[in-house]
Structures are given as structure tokens and as C-alpha cells.
Structure 1
Amino acid sequence: MTEYGRMDPFSFAGSKDVGHPVSIRIMNLEGDEAPFRFSSLLDRPDLRHVGSNTSPNSDLFVTVQVWAGSKPLTVPVQTAYRPFRSERKWNEWLELPITYDSLPADSTLAITIWDLSPVGGKDAIGHAVPFGGTTLPLFDDDNQVQKGRQKCMVHRHKKADGMNNSTTPALVMSKKGNTRKDNNATSILDRDAEELDRMEKLFKKHEMGEIPRVDWLDQMVFRSFEKRGLQAAKSSMKMLQRQRILNGDSTDAGDSADGRPGQSTFLINVELPRFDFPVVFADHEYEPPPISALQSLSASQANLSQRRQPQVQFGPGIKGWEDGSEGLSNPLIKVYDPEAGHRDNPAEAKHRRLFRSSHRHGILDKDLKPNAKVRDELNLIMSYSPTHVLSPEETDLVWKFRYHLTRDKRAATKFVKSVNWADQRESKQAIQVLGRWTAIDVDDALELLGPSFDNPGVRSYAVERLRKADDDELLLYLLQLVQALKYEHVSAGSEQDITQDSSLARFLIQRAAANFMLGNYFYWYLMVECDDRSPLQGDDNREVYRKVAYEFVLDLEKQPGGSQSRKMLLRQAETVAVLSKIASEVKATSESIAKKAERVKHFIADPKNELTTFDPPLAMPLDPSVKVTGIVPDQVTVFKSSLNPIKFTFKTTTGSTYPIIFKLGDDLRQDQLVIQIITLMDQLLQKENLDLKLSPYKILATSTSAGASQFVQSQSLSSIVSRFKNNPALAFLRHHNPDDRQPLGVRQETIDTYVRSCAGYCVITYILGVGDRHLDNLLLSPDGHFFHADFGFILGRDPKPFAPAMKLSKEMVDCMGGVQSEHYRQFRQYCFLAYTALRKSSNLILNLFSLMVDANIPDIRIEPDKAVLKVRERFHLELSEEEAILYFGRVIEDTLSAFAPVVLDKLHEWAQAFRT
């Protein structure tokens, strides 16, 4: 109810504001007809097999379809099968695939009752023949939506046509005067129908709680109402019979048209949804067509187009402009061209050019200071998220006060968006102004490296800001910076050094060559992009990445100890190739899991393969800070899965072990992205002095179809539930960390770790929209660290229906001591602190996702233009901090009270048990 509420004291709604689906309840069929004479059935064998001719309560079904403009708008919806005994009663709600806001004013419901006949007949569909039909308008004479119970006249042996001039009208009784006029202007007062209408209004008040409930009295009223309804039905059918005779609808007063002795009169009772206010038809006000992206012609192009007018051939009866005054009277046809109509307004474009030119070389521009009102407008613009598009007025305002804004680091990206980069003079001055800007944050530098900014000067400015970041910080964004190389203006076919064309490529190569930790990940990220042969990648992008990899290796050789670093990368690649070969052979065999494991152990233990000893030690691709000396054959495990992932355990130089899970046949880039974002969020929370004990395990995609992940000693909640019956998670922690002095019987440090990690992962998986959460991918380590695994569904996607916004199961809360416990209160507090802290860094996270739009990540690839918006929606940046905390509290409460996740977890548990 948008503009309608202004028309006091009326209270109503427009149909365009009602998004409720059109539905109808098929109640029952009233009426009877005399049976056929036995002689008629003998003479006409086709009548003997029709269900309604053999039994007064034969099985029937009803279809309903929405029509408008004499055309069907929806497919018909059908009632379920009902075996009738004493009466034909369905009492079933049907929901049609259309909502009230989509209905035209002449919409009708075509209701057809179908009988069964093996021989078919007129309008038959298979063995179904029309028993009768009726057409009910959805809007009455006052353009109000029909509501409540309706008695519709059934036209025997006719299919509801739904046409504007329908031959099967419902003839609904008027409820305003409760009268009906016949052709002789004779008014027949149906007192039973009037009483029925009055009782319906009272029943409505009873349902709404306006009339107190008294069980014994209600039962008496209900029985009396049923008797009154039967009496009203008989009265209504008699009136219909009289009206038919008066109107001449019957050929014979004694027999029906089909030869049946006596008239056939039926009414079908239906019910339409009731609304608290009248709903009046209101049509859509469609928005104007989208503005064309076609740019206005320049002055030189405009003059050229005037000199070279194309020859136009006019159609029959159409004359063009001719010389002389006579041509002005010739008929012309004006055609609406949306592209021409929605080009930039010449007056506005001229005004914008004049405004920019007046503030381009003015000496006083550097001294311009905004007043209080303009300062508030500028602060609002500065608070916009990276996805916000500035209006022309906002861009002019930022350009006007650009010198004043140079001291505000938040304004740099807004200033770049306000520049007309097609104007060389303006773009040149913009680069000069950008050079005197105060140091911007890393998140703004990442935004300037995105696909929306292609000016080399702007991208070079962003790279200069990245040079101030240390290697540890750069490692957090390295995955996105490798993707940003796609947006550099680099010629794939050029023979010259790529670093001459791309400041970003030059920067990444220099930093990666000087630090082996960066170089290790930089190398593998490049290898995956070179391996990506999907249409989204393209040959040009692959060639760019090959050039960058080549230049990186050359630059690495020039560094002190660079030859050893290059050999280390080659040995890593050889090891990964051997592990891929092992995984491929294991997948190809049809042996049992035990035999597959023995095959892998035998291959590793064979001295010829040189896998038990690495000399010199090898830097792990997953974590180059870990040096491994070989693989332990006895600790190999092959998992029972379609891909048969293999667990390899490596010996380290410190005497410990480093287990990994190697998987072939799966693209791990999406999991790699999620783990990288979780690692980044952990760092952001640590800066806010909030340690939530997150444990993002290492994961690395080595190609588009292979990769490895770190194996963390833990158990899934599913296996814990099967092992411990009462409060399984708490029993598991109590088993590994007993302490009888604590209320829960578990060491305080362990419970604190559990509560913090639960809060952290609940918030992070909510923001990232992680789906397909069940007890098999919720893991718990013996020391209390809780974490998630398997990120095959993100950004709100979920294979299960009714998936919750957050995964917070009963088992997780019970381990804290229940919803009334102090630990659960701390859990909520940690959730609120984490959510508000991450909202402060929302721009950084959104910019990282915007750089991954073309990274061929499965769940981003589905809707790349909406990926960043989906993450932004989870932050709810339009809310204040207090409102955001209240909102997130409701998310937690709704998750705990939801019933569907419990059922889905149980179904998943049964499915897994069935598979095993």
C-alpha cells in the first residue's frame, strides 16, 4: 500500500502491491439430477460408461485456470483424487502459478469439473469429459478482488471457456443487496442466502478472535450452520431453475437438453482468500526502458553524419521531406527509438562540460571549502560501499572539491570514479591530483586494480600503495592480485618484456622473486591459471600468465640463491605429478579400498620411486615453511569416495609429521578462496584484539582438477554423535580433556576454545553464505577447536531446501551447556563482536571478491555480476551497529528454532548409513 494510504479515511490496497499467489479452495458440489431412463441407456451405449450416469456420487475432479483477454494466463491446476461416498466434497486449496500483482483487470477463473468416460466425447481430454464448467471473475463490478465463499452455477456438459464474453458465467449472487433481478424485473429475496452471508461474517470474526471461543456452544452453532447451508443450497437451486425457465435457457420444462427426465441444476462452492482490507485493481506503472549505453557523438562525428546522409527508402504511403512548403504537410511516421531517446541530454551534457571546465583550471579551486551542508553530502558519498554507483550530481560535487578531499584517504576511489577519463585534459589533471593524495588503505588500492579501472596511471598509483605492504600482508591478497593481472592492458602477442606494460606484473615478480614464501604461492597460482583451458579464461589470458611465469623464473635466477629456489619449485612440481599419477591409478582400479591402500603403500615403499626419502628436504607446496624429508608408507589411507582421495603423511625436518589429503578430479579453487578469506578474517579479528581460535587449514589447488589440503586431526560431529549418545560433543571433549573441578567436567581452556571457534565460524560462514552444512562437514578437534570443511556451496547456494542462514545445531549448543548457560551467552557476545568487527572491514572483503569475478570459481561463475552484492547483503551496511547486532541476534534465534535443519540432518544421517 504505497500511495493509497494517503486517501484517508479509506483503507484499501492496490492489487499491484499484493504479492500473494492466487489460490482457491474447491469445497463441494451441490445439486442433483434425475437418473436416465433405462431405455435411454439401452438406446445410447455411450451414456452407460459415463461415471455420473451410473452413480449419483461418482468420482470427479476439478481443474482451475486463470484466463484474461480471452487467453489462458496459467496452466490448469488439478485437485487430488477423492473417493466420494455420500457427497462430492473436495475441501482442497489449489495454488495457481500467478500472484495478484500480475493479474489484469479482466482476469477470470475457469473452473471445470471433469467426469470419466472410456469412449470420450466433446471437449474430452483422454478419458476425461466435462461434467460442467463455470467462469468466475477475479474482480467484481467495483474492481475489487473477489474474496470469501462463492456459489458458482455449473453449466452441465460444458468446459469453462474463460472468454471475456463467457458462455459459462458463474452468476454469483450479489452480496450487497442480496437480491437477484430476472428479466421481468421481479426481485426474489433469498432470505437463506442473506442469513448465510451474515453467518460467514460472524465466522470471520470468530476466526480472528474477535468473538470468544466457547467449545460446547460453537459445536451447536456449527451444526445449525450446516443445516442452514443445505437449506440455502436447495433454495438457490430452485431459484436457478425458475430463472432458467424464465430466460428460455431450457428447451423443455420437463426434460433436460441431454434427454434426462427433469432439469440438471448444480452449484459448486468455492472459497477465495480473505484479506484484512479491500484489494482494488491497480495496474503496474512500468519503469522507463533502460538507458542505452551508446555514447553521444562528438562534434566531429556529428558534422560527419550530417555531410553523409544515408539514402532512406520510405515504405508504401509514406513520403519524406520534400523541397518547398508542400513537403511540410506530407504524412510522416514517427518511430520511438529507445537508443536515440535515452542518449545523454545535450543540455545536461553541455552543462557538465561547462561545469568541469570552469573547475578545471581555476586558481581558486585549490582553496574551495565546502559548507556544512555540502560537507554532510560529501561524508555520505565517502561512506558508500565499493559497489555503489555515483550519480552525475555526486561526481560533479567530488570533482569540484577534489583538492579539499586530497586529505581524505577514503575519497580517492570516489574521485577516480568521478573523472571523465575519455577527456584527455581532464584525465591528465586527475592523475596529477591523485599524485598528491594522502596515503590510501590497501582495500582502496585493491579496488583501483579491479575491472572497473583501466587507466594505467590509476593502476600504477594503486601498485605504489601496495609497495608499502610487507610480505605477510601481501600474502593475504596474493590470490586476488594474480587475478588482477587479467585487467592489465598487456598485449598477449607482444614479444617485449611484460613488465614494461604492466606495473602490477613487475611489482608481483619483484616481490615474489625476493621472498620464497611469496614465490612458492605465486608460482602455483600462475600454474593453475595456465592450466585453465575453459572458455572463460581465453587464450590471451593464458598467454599473459605464461609470460608472467617466464619472467618470474628469469628474475628468480638473478636473486641470491635463486637457482636453488627454482630447483625447489621444479621438485615440487615433480612430486605433485607423481602423486597425481598415483591418485589416477587408484581411481581407475575397481579393487576394494584395502587393496587400493596396499597398492599405494607398495608404490611409495619401492626405493626406485624415491618417495620415502627427499634429499635435500623439500619445501611443502601447501606451506613452504615446512621442510619434509619423505613420505611414511605405513600411514597412507585411501578414503571411500567416488574420487578416492588419498591421505599422505610426510616426515618433516623437525621429526614431526605433516599429513595432507591429495584429491584428483576436483577443482579446489573455491575451497582455496574460502580458506584464504577465513585466514584474512582471522587476521582482521586479531587486529581488533579478538582471538576466536580459528584454525583455517592449508589448501592449495595444483591444477584445475587436482589439489591438496592439510589434514587436521579431528572428528566430524556425525561420527561423534554415533559414538556418544548423550550430549555427544561435550562427552567427546570430556573424554579428551577431563576436569572434575569445572561445572561441565571439561578443562576451562578447552571449553573457551570451543565457544570462541563456534562463534567465529558461525559469523564467517554466514557472511560467505556457505551452504550444504551437515554434521559430516562440521569438525571438532580433541583440544576444542571447532571448524568447517568442504566449501562446495557458497554465496547462499545450498542443495537442500529450507536451508538456514547459519549453521548452529542443537549438538553445538548443548556442548556449551544449553541456551540458558553462561557459555552460550559468551558465544552470542563473541558473535556480535566478530560481526561488527568484520563489518568495519567490509570494503576490503568486497574488493577481494570483486577481483575474483573472472576467476572461474563455480559459485561465482553462476552469477558473476551478483557475487559481490550477495556478500554485501550479508553485511547489512544500511544498518547501524546497534541494529546490526539486533539483526544478527534474530538470525541466531531463528536458526535455533528452525525445524527443517534438524530433519535434513537426520535424513543426511540415514542416507550416509544406507550408503555404508
Structure 2
Amino acid sequence: MTGNEFRFFLSCDINLPVTFRIERLEGNLPFPNSLNSENDDGTAELYVECALHIDGAPFGLPTRTRLESTGPSYCWNELITLTAKYRDLTAQSQLTFTVWDLSHGEGLIGGATILLFNNKKQLKTGKQKLRLWAGKEADGTFPTSTPGKVPRHERGELERLEKLLNKYERGQIQRVDWLDRLTFKTMEKIKERESLKNGSAHLYVVVDFCSFEHRVVFQESGANFLLPSPIASTNDIVIVWDPEVGKINPSEHKQLKLARSLTRGVIDRDLKPSSNERKSIQRILKYPPTRTLSGDDRQLLWKFRFSLMSEKRALTKFLRCVEWSDVQEAKQALELMGKWEMIDVCDALELLSPVFESEEVRAYAVSVLERADDEELQCYLLQLVQALRFERSDKSRLSLFLVQRALSNIELASFLRWYVAVELYDPTYAKRFYCTYEILEEYMMKMGAGANGEEDGFKRWQSLVRQTELTAQLCSITRDVRNVRGNTQKKIEKLRQLLSGLLSELTYFDEPIRSPLTPDVLITGIVPSESSIFKSALHPLRLTFKTANGGTCKIIFKKGDDLRQDQLVVQMVSLMDRLLKLENLDLHLTPYKVLATGQDEGMLEFIPSRSLAQILSEHRSIISYLQNFHPDDHGPFGITANCLETFIKSCAGYSVITYILGIGDRHLDNLLLRDDGSLFHVDFGFILGRDPKPFPPPMKLCKEMVEAMGGAESQYYTRFKSYCCEAYNILRKSSNLILNLFYLMAGSNIPDIASDPEKGILKLQEKFRLDLDDEACIHFFQDLINESVSALFPQMVETIHRWAQYWR
């Protein structure tokens, strides 16, 4: 068929009965006062009466649906077949729908009428949403007094989207799996918003008309109609009509059940995949954890499940293809799971995601996690606490596991307590997290003294409780300091005055307190003379604490800022640093510690450093600044080779990590440089691709950083690009682990994730470029570096930012 041809059927040639499906009723019933009778349970009993009218006169007998009383929204999903055939219709044929309520003595709900042909004389197909005229029986005269279609001037965004959805379901809009899921989710939000705005002003009945292979054009029987081109044979036009399209085919479902039944277990046990099937299986196993398996993928994995039991990577994919609603199939799957090759810890995290609801599967995942040592477990602890949202009970296997591990490690206990305590502000899951908090407290209080002279459980718990008391006092100090009128210096004087006077007990604690950031360190008091305040809107405190071993540690305390997003990003930086070091690549990263102690408060480790903006303002270049600390007349650019190497490696590490995590709002004030040449990023208010600045570059790589490496043509800049590509390919190997960790954060209240978790995780997945091999990724990342360095617009924005900071 050429692009100029228009194929269609004539209505007079279709010798099939008029068929459609009554789906559901949308909206609230208009009988609030009639539900007060003693014998009324508040549920209506509804049915829909359908009738065909031709040229304003009834044609045939009306047809009724069954009674529906399951409550809003009332759903019949019933196929209606009339005695009339399509060839009997005229251009003014109408269908009338009247909804009745038997629970109120044949109460009339409302009616609506729809023409079967549009103004172009084409048969209407797909879903139609008809507005009911309350209290009026559907009128079949022509023109009708109860038109079901919403007038054009009253149509809103929702009606336009439903029209597009109708086209999508008829195959007139291309399907893109990941984009479709995001679109449907957005449509649901729009629908909820419209429902809240409009209230229950209208009732709608949703009807689904059948579709044909081509459009149906009205034509009276026996009329002389000249076709645009002759049809060679009857095979050129075939009526394909299936009112059950999109529904479960009973015969196919029965065949599928037989193919997956237990009686085939003996046969399937000996099956081996062919060469092509093996390639397909390997392709499926490489899918990221966010990828949904198709029907064919699920069937293939199930068919060869016995031969895949030695492939540990296949277990998570196999469990995704199980029909858990089938008791026998679920039982067989759980038996196989127990005999499967033990999976890695990173794959066990996937089994704790909301996709897997089976308690046995989640318990199996916990048994795998038990093999992880405390250091590895701490890398995932934040996500494991978030995974408690997806458990089936408050005292789950995961909750008990976390508490048991925390009892033998004070660091795990401290962080577990804080991670759970912060989530108590979430009303939906407050009970779930509080239950874990109570179990931790109960078990720890019952603990005796440790074999190595460690304090007993009661004292350990009290040392953790005192952390909360300390943060409460710091919140009070912050409020008092903010109320002081004057510049920052006056606020600093007020801080030191408070610490030395009214709050002098903070300078020396009665008993040492475990530092919330590093619980293995005992702090004994604050040093007032070394404590200060940062010059910013929130006036964060910079506090110097004395430690039990005679040293000091510096902590930043912020009140008025949600640090949970920063906490997540720094945790990922720490994890990626660990993954790189396992591959013998140390990029001198600075994963400083961050801990959110509330919804709008928290602590950060203070790292002595200066911002690049400050350095460039005072020293003109990065190299001249580093020459003050590591001068070497024989070294590159007058500094030691080790210092330059540290700078190059840290630049490479953060360039890759900030690109993968999509960290935005990068400017010279949140890029800091330590005296040893280590560069690091702070302030992660925008992640997963969000950025307040227009046209941000893929990564923050300013010309001053390139100049410190000797320029774009130097060997040091080439080494920088080499480190970037090596780090990128190493982290790509652990993409499943990183994606699983973010997937477990899907239910969290972190701003840039909570806004649209699925979209954020898909963006993260795209950054790994899993469609490319390692060699292709090297070229890809080098192009990204070149694009970032040559970006002109961000340089203009940076200049504007500097001027804004100056005038501020």
C-alpha cells in the first residue's frame, strides 16, 4: 500500500453484529441521603441498560448488563452483542446508555447517548467516555437531549490525554515501554488533580467499541460507490475483529499453565538450550535490574530453569518470571531457589526491592546478606533501612538481622539508630521504623558486658541517647545565634559566650559521648575558642570537639537544611571509592562524613580546605596556590610530582562520579581544594540530572583546572583523561549494585528521588551506557570531557555567579 492510498471497509459490507464492551462507571453516586436506611449497607446495585436507535427510533430490544455492587468504581467489563448488524446502521444511528440503581427502588442514576459515526461518517472505535445526565433517562431521538460527549469548550487537559490514550490502545501511537510507564504515571497524577478540582460534579460511563483492521466508512446498501483503485483479490482486505484484544486468552493461558505445570518438571529437568536460546538467555542476564522482562523472556527462563541453577546471576531474573499468584508454581520456584548457586550480596539487594513481595524470597536475600562483613554492610545500611518500607510485617527478617548485626558493632548500632530515627517523621511508615527502633533498644539494654572489657548494653545505649541530647542543644544554640543582630563576627562572639557561660557544661561532658559521625571516637567537650560560624544564610556552626585520646575533631552542624540527599551522595562517593580501590585505582577522593539527624538538621565532617573561587581570587591560579604548600623547583610546574598527581586523580574521580550521579549546580564555590592537592565537591542539592542553571555541561571541568594540568595538549591532561576512562569502566561493572541501591531508595523522602523515582533511576541507568563495550565507552567519555571543557555558556553563568557572590 502506498502512502497516498486510504484503505477502509464499507459499513454495508460488514455482516457482523454490533458489539461493544461496557467497562465501568467513574465518579461518585448522587444519593448521599438515601443510604441512611437501616437495611442499607451503603452499597448501590447498578446495571446499565443499552439500546440502539436508528434515525431517532428504537431498533430491537434493549439489553441490560448484570448487577454490579462491589462499590466505587463500579466495573462491569461486560461484552454486549446486539441483534442489529453493522450493515443495518444509518449515519444517524445512536446508542443510549441508562444507569439504574436497584438498591433504591429502581432509582435512575442518569443517561447518555452517543452517535456511532462521527461527522466524517467514520465508525467510532476504541474507548469512549460519556458524561451522564443526572436523573435523566437516555434520549434516543435525533438530535438527542442527552449527548454523552463533553462539549469542546468544556474539555480540559484530561479529555485530551484520554483521546491520545484511545489512539495508543488502538496502535496508532508507537509504544515505547519506559516512556509509556512514565506517561501513564503522570496521567494518573493529572487525573487525581482534576478529580480534586472538579469534585464529584459528574458521572461518566466508559464504553469500549470494537476496532477493525481498517477504518469503517458509512455506506448504504446498494449505493453506487466508486473505489479509488480496484482490489485484485479478496485477500487484500480482511476483516480482523477481536473484542477480546488486550485481554487474557483462555486457551493461551491454559497452554501456558500446562507448559509450566509440575507434571512437566521431569521433562524440563533434562532440557538444554540451543545455541540461539543460550545467546538469548545471556542477553537477558545482562539486563539491568530496572528492565521489565517480556513474556517471551519469562517463558524462556522458566523453560530452562534447571540448567540455569549453576548460574548465580540468573536467580534474580528467574524469580522475576515466576507467577507468584499460582501456589504450585511459587512452591516449585522456592524449592529451586534453595538449591540454586549462592548469589552475590549485590544481587541480594535486588531481592529486597518492592518488586519481590514473597517473604521467603526476602528472607533468602537476608541470608545472603549475612555473609557480608561489617564494613560492606555499612556501605549498604542506609538502603537496607529504606528497604524496611517494602517488608510485609513490622518485625521482619530484615529488621531482626539489622538489629542483630548492630549489637556486635557500635558503629552499625549508632548509624542504624539515626537512620531509623530520621524516618519516624514519615507518618506512613512511622510504626514500621519505630518497631525496629524499639527492638534495637530492647536487645541492647539486655546485653551484658563484652568479653574485651566493653561497656554493657545499658551504657552503650545511653551513650547513643546522649547523641540526641547533644544535637538538641546544638539546635538551641543555632537558634540563639541567628537571633543576634549584626554581622557574622558578632554571632561568633555570641556562640563563644554561650559555650563559656550558660552552656559551659558543653565544654566538658560528665561522660564521654560517641561522636554521631564516627561512633568509635569518644568526644569529651567543645573548645569554645576554636568554634566558629560560617557566613551563610543558615549560619551553620563549626565546632571543635576534644576527644578522649587527647586529640580534636571538627564538625559542622546545620539547622534548617535537609541533609539526607547529601548523605546519600557522599555514601555513593564512599562506595565508589571502595569499588575503585578494589581494582587498585586510588583516585584520592574525599568522602567526608555526613549524617542527617532530623528532617532539617545534621552534621558534616569539617575538612580543612578552600573553595576554587577563593583560591582563584587570591592566587590567580591553582598551581600558584599549591606552590605555597608543596614547592619543588625540579617538579612539574614548580610543585611536587605527588601533589600534581593527587590533583589530577581527584579531578578525574569526581568528574566521573558527578557525571554518573547527575550532580547539578556545580560552581567554583562548591569545588574545594585541600593543601595536599585533593579536589572534592560539596553541596549536593541537585542530583540525577536536575540543575538550576540552563544548559549545564556533562561534568564540571573549568579551564583553570585544565590549566593546572598544563593545558589540553599536556601529558598530564592526557593522564587525567586516562584515569577518567579507567574509572568509568570500573564503575560500569558495578552498575547493577549502584542501580539496586538507588532502587531501594525509591520510597524515601529524598527530594530529587521522591519527585519521580522511576524517572530518576532511568536517568542514572542511561549514564552507564550499558549498550556500549569498554572500548566504545573510552571514546564516549573522552567526547564528554571535550564537550565539558569547550562549553561556553556555563562559563558565562559562572561569571554571573561570581558577580552575584561579590555583591552579596
Q: With structure 1 as the length reference, what TM-score do the two structures score?
A: 0.63
Residue 437 of structure 2 corresponds to which residue in structure 1? 549
C-alpha distance in 2, partners of 1:652/1:318?
92
Change (3 A) 1:319 1:640: farther
Report if the CA contact (8 A) 1:635-1:648 is conserved. Answer: yes
Q: Write the mapping of 1:676-755 to structure 2, written as runs, cut at 5 A.
A: 676-725=571-620, 728-755=621-648
C-alpha distance in 1, partners of 2:416/2:263?
42
Q: 1:604 aligns with which of 466, 491, 499?
A: 499
Residue 798 of structure 1 corresponds to which residue in structure 2? 691
Report if the CA contact (8 A) 1:876-1:884 is conserved. Answer: yes
Q: Write the mapping of 1:54-65 to structure 2, written as runs, cut at 5 A.
A: none
Q: Write the mapping of 1:878-893 to structure 2, written as runs, cut at 5 A.
A: 878-893=771-786
Q: Which amino acid aligns with 1:755?
A: I
Matched, 1:822 2:702: no
Report if the CA contact (8 A) 2:50-2:63 is conserved. Answer: no
C-alpha distance in 1, partners of 2:269/2:447?
46
Change (3 A) 1:360 1:584: farther
C-alpha distance in 2, partners of 1:326/1:565?
77
Change (3 A) 1:614 1:398: same
Residue 305 of structure 2 corresponds to which residue in structure 1? 402
Report if the CA contact (8 A) 1:514-1:556 is conserved. Answer: no
Residue 326 of structure 2 corresponds to which residue in structure 1? 423
C-alpha distance in 2, partners of 1:732/1:751?
12
CA deviations 1:806-828 (Å, max 9, x no partner) are 00011111111111222111111
Matched, 1:375 2:278: yes
Q: Which amino acid aligns with 1:445?
A: A
Residue 614 of structure 1, CA deviation = 2.2
Report if the CA contact (8 A) 1:596-1:638 is conserved. Answer: yes
Report if the CA contact (8 A) 2:51-2:62 is conserved. Answer: no
Aligned length: 596
Residue 798 of structure 2 corresponds to which residue in structure 1? 905
Residue 521 of structure 1 corresponds to which residue in structure 2? 415
Matched, 1:559 2:450: no
CA deviations 1:276-330 (Å, max 9, x no partner) are xxxxxxxxxxxxxxxx99xxxxxxxxxxxxxx9956353653544789x995678
Q: Write the mapping of 1:144-155 to structure 2, written as runs, cut at 5 A.
A: none
Residue 349 of structure 1, CA deviation = 2.2
CA deviations 1:457-516 (Å, max 9, x no partner) are 1101111100111111000000000000000012xxxxxxx43xx111111111112211
Residue 610 of structure 1, CA deviation = 1.0
Q: Which amino acid aligns with 2:760?
A: A
Q: Write the mapping of 1:829-840 to structure 2, written as runs, cut at 5 A.
A: 829-840=722-733
C-alpha distance in 2, partners of 1:454/1:319?
51
Residue 654 of structure 1, CA deviation = 3.0
Change (3 A) 1:318 1:679: farther
C-alpha distance in 1, partners of 2:319/2:521?
43
Q: Write the mapping of 1:403-802 to structure 2, written as runs, cut at 5 A.
A: 403-490=306-393, 498-499=394-395, 502-530=396-424, 532=425, 537-539=426-428, 541-560=429-448, 561-606=456-501, 609-725=504-620, 728-802=621-695
Report if the CA contact (8 A) 2:445-2:461 is conserved. Answer: yes
Report if the CA contact (8 A) 2:655-2:700 is conserved. Answer: yes
Residue 27 of structure 2 corresponds to which residue in structure 1? none
Residue 615 of structure 1, CA deviation = 3.7
Greater Rg over alpha carbons, structure: 1
CA deviations 1:142-166 (Å, max 9, x no partner) are xxxxxxxxxxxxxxxxxxxxxxxxx
C-alpha distance in 2, partners of 1:472/1:318?
78
Residue 342 of structure 1 corresponds to which residue in structure 2? 246
C-alpha distance in 2, partners of 1:822/1:600?
50
Secondary structure of 1:693's aligned partner: coil
C-alpha distance in 1, partners of 2:419/2:521?
19
Report if the CA contact (8 A) 1:649-1:657 is conserved. Answer: yes
Residue 608 of structure 1, CA deviation = 5.3
Report if the CA contact (8 A) 2:671-2:682 is conserved. Answer: yes
Q: 1:312 aligns with which of 44, 49, 53?
A: 49
- What percent identity do the matched residue pairs reach? 45
Residue 581 of structure 1, CA deviation = 0.8
Q: Which amino acid aligns with 1:831?
A: C
CA deviations 1:791-840 (Å, max 9, x no partner) are 00111111111110100011111111111222111111110110000000
C-alpha distance in 1, partners of 2:249/2:662?
42
Change (3 A) 1:604 1:364: same
Residue 257 of structure 1 corresponds to which residue in structure 2? none
Q: Which amino acid aligns with 1:477?
A: Y
Q: Which amino acid aligns with 1:680?
A: L
C-alpha RMSD over aligned residues: 2.5
Residue 160 of structure 2 corresponds to which residue in structure 1? none
Secondary structure of 2:283's aligned partner: helix
CA deviations 1:208-229 (Å, max 9, x no partner) are xxxxxxxxxxxxxxxxxxxxxx
C-alpha distance in 2, partners of 1:320/1:481?
62
Report if the CA contact (8 A) 2:60-2:84 is conserved. Answer: no
Q: Write the mapping of 1:28-47 to structure 2, written as runs, cut at 5 A.
A: none
Report if the CA contact (8 A) 1:853-1:867 is conserved. Answer: no
Q: Which amino acid aligns with 1:356?
A: R
C-alpha distance in 1, partners of 2:82/2:697?
73
Report if the CA contact (8 A) 1:514-1:559 is conserved. Answer: no
C-alpha distance in 2, partners of 1:767/1:703?
28
Change (3 A) 1:612 1:309: closer
Change (3 A) 1:822 1:463: same
C-alpha distance in 1, partners of 2:768/2:48?
57
Residue 429 of structure 1, CA deviation = 0.9
C-alpha distance in 2, partners of 1:407/1:326?
57
Matched, 1:352 2:256: yes
Q: Which runs of 5+ in 2 are unaligned?
A: 5-22, 25-44, 65-80, 96-115, 117-124, 128-168, 170-207, 209-243, 449-455
C-alpha distance in 2, partners of 1:558/1:515?
15
C-alpha distance in 2, partners of 1:351/1:656?
73
Q: Which amino acid aligns with 1:526?
A: V
Q: Which runs of 5+ in 1 are unaligned?
A: 8-13, 15-291, 294-307, 491-497
Report if the CA contact (8 A) 1:321-1:328 is conserved. Answer: no
Secondary structure of 2:330's aligned partner: helix
Secondary structure of 2:636's aligned partner: coil
C-alpha distance in 1, partners of 2:311/2:787?
41
Q: Which amino acid aligns with 1:449?
A: L
Q: Which amino acid aligns with 1:660?
A: I
C-alpha distance in 2, partners of 1:827/1:891?
13
Q: Which amino acid aligns with 1:400?
A: K
C-alpha distance in 2, partners of 1:882/1:422?
44
Q: 1:387 aligns with which of 274, 290, 296?
A: 290
Change (3 A) 1:360 1:641: farther
C-alpha distance in 1, partners of 2:705/2:688?
23
Secondary structure of 2:257's aligned partner: helix
Report if the CA contact (8 A) 2:50-2:62 is conserved. Answer: no
Report if the CA contact (8 A) 2:514-2:522 is conserved. Answer: yes
Secondary structure of 1:805's aligned partner: coil
Secondary structure of 1:744's aligned partner: helix
Secondary structure of 1:362's aligned partner: helix
Q: Which amino acid aligns with 1:558?
A: K
